[in-house]
Amino acid sequence: MTVIEALRRRARFLVAGFLSFLVVLAAIRWSSGEPLLQPAGDIGLIIGFLFVAGFFVVSDSYRSGGGAP
């Protein structure tokens, strides 16, 4: 399975999870009076999203190659 196929297969889950996380984070920041956008800290969100997407790609590739069930 290629990277594109793995990402396409998990796209709904990744987008839904990321958007719901952003909504919760925005609600927490808004309720505490912090700015909604914090560039220094929000870079970590993007890095975390990329790690999760990478995990899914590796996991799907491993399973399609006859790896663990």
Q: Is residue 69 in a domain? A: no
Per-residue pLDDT, 31: 97
Q: For residue range 14-24, list pLDDT tens digits in order.
A: 999 999 999 99
Q: Is residue 16 in a domain? A: yes
Our count of domains for the chain comes to: 1
Range of the domain at 52: 3-64
Cα gap 25→28, rounded to integer Å: 5
Q: For residue range 1-59, list pLDDT tens digits in order.
A: 788 888 898 899 999 999 999 999 999 999 999 999 999 889 999 999 999 999 999 98
Inform me whether the pLDDT recorded for 69 exceeds 70. no
Per-residue pLDDT, 63: 81
Structure pTM? Answer: 0.75
Report the 10 Å Cβ neighbour count for 6. Answer: 20
